[in-house]
Each structure stands twice: as structure tokens, then as C-alpha cells.
Amino acid sequence: MRKILIALAALVMIPAAAQAAKDSLVLGMPLEPPHLDPTAGAAAAIDEVVYANLFEGLTRIDENGAVQPGLASEWTISADGLTYTFRLRAGVKFHDGSAMDSADVKFSLDRAGSEVSINAQKGLFEAIESIATPDAGTVVVKLSRPEGLFLWNMGWG
């Protein structure tokens, strides 16, 4: 009888194994996101899902931990390590179809590092002294001190 049950269980599983590969992943979470704002102090699990799947940084971190272009297609760093000039990737749109530009990047960075922000990652932005937007495709970030992880931070925070 036991062998028959095992054989039946195996037969029931065959159709599931034969299904075509899917190009989506369903992720179950034990808690409901209170919002989708990563700067509003949500639980760590929510932040990880939101950061990785809904938002994109100026840079991104590849599978080897190296900094790669993200929303910024390229950047330069001043000799003193205090000024980062980012050229934004062209054609990036928000979910509503509106174009992203340097003013949006400035708003996001200012908000994430604001003194009144409850962003759990606020420390990633504390070296930012000022942000300029000389044109729609350029963001210039001036730091108060050299920050060796700044480009890496822009891929996470």
C-alpha cells in the first residue's frame, strides 16, 4: 500500500514539473507593506523588496559587488573626491509615463537625507553638502568630506 501511495504522489507531481518555465517570481511575505516609500522607516524586509524591485539608484551593484551604471549612465569625480558629476540615462520614465530628470534626482536625494527624514538609510546621505542640477540630464553632488563608498551607496540607498 505504501508503494502505491508513493507512486500516486509521484504521478501527481509530474504535471507541475512539466510546466513551461515562467518569467516571473511570486514572493510571499509575512507582513503587508504599509506603503512603498523606502525613506519612511518600514521594516527591513519591506525595504529590501522595495529597493530591489521598485527603485533604481544612480548606480547599481552587480553580482560581484562592483559599482555599475544605473540611472546615471556615467560620472566623473573631482581630484579632491568631493564633487561627483552624474550624467543621467536618457529616456527613463516613471510609472505614469512622465520623464525623469535631474530635478527628480535632487528631490529624491534631498528627501532621503533630510534632517527630518526617518529613512533607515539616512546615514548613506550624510556627507552630501549640496546638489546642483545644471541641466535636465546632469546632477552635481558636492560632499563635505571624501566618501569612499559614495558610488556604492548610490546603488543601495
CATH code, domain carrying 121: 3.90.76.10
Please report the pLDDT score of residue 112 as a whole number. Answer: 83
Please report the pLDDT score of residue 44 as a whole number. Answer: 63
The answer to whether residue 144 is domain-embedded is: yes
**Domain of residue 114, residue span:** 44-156
Please report the pLDDT score of residue 50 as a whole number. Answer: 65
The answer to whether residue 9 is domain-embedded is: no
Please report the pLDDT score of residue 69 as a whole number. Answer: 97
Residues with Cβ within 8 Å of 152's Cβ and at least 6 positions away in sequence, in order, are 59, 61, 67
Please report the pLDDT score of residue 138 as a whole number. Answer: 98
Supply the DSSP symbol for 21: P
The answer to whether residue 38 is domain-embedded is: no
Exposed, middle or buried: residue 1 (CB in 10 Å: 0-12, 13-18, 19+)?
exposed
* Residue with cell string 507593506: 33
Please report the pLDDT score of residue 111 as a whole number. Answer: 87
Please report the pLDDT score of residue 114 as a whole number. Answer: 79
- How many domains does one find in the chain? 1
Please report the pLDDT score of residue 133 as a whole number. Answer: 98
The answer to whether residue 16 is domain-embedded is: no
The answer to whether residue 58 is domain-embedded is: yes
The answer to whether residue 75 is domain-embedded is: yes
The answer to whether residue 86 is domain-embedded is: yes
The answer to whether residue 128 is domain-embedded is: yes
Q: DSSP states of 99-147 as a string? A: BP-HHHHHHHHHHHH-TT---TTGGGGTTEEEEEEEETTEEEEEESS--
- Give mean pLDDT in consecutive 10-residue pieces for the chain, a chain of 157 residues: 59 60 74 67 63 81 93 98 98 94 95 78 88 98 96 83
Please report the pLDDT score of residue 2 as a whole number. Answer: 62
- Model pTM score: 0.74
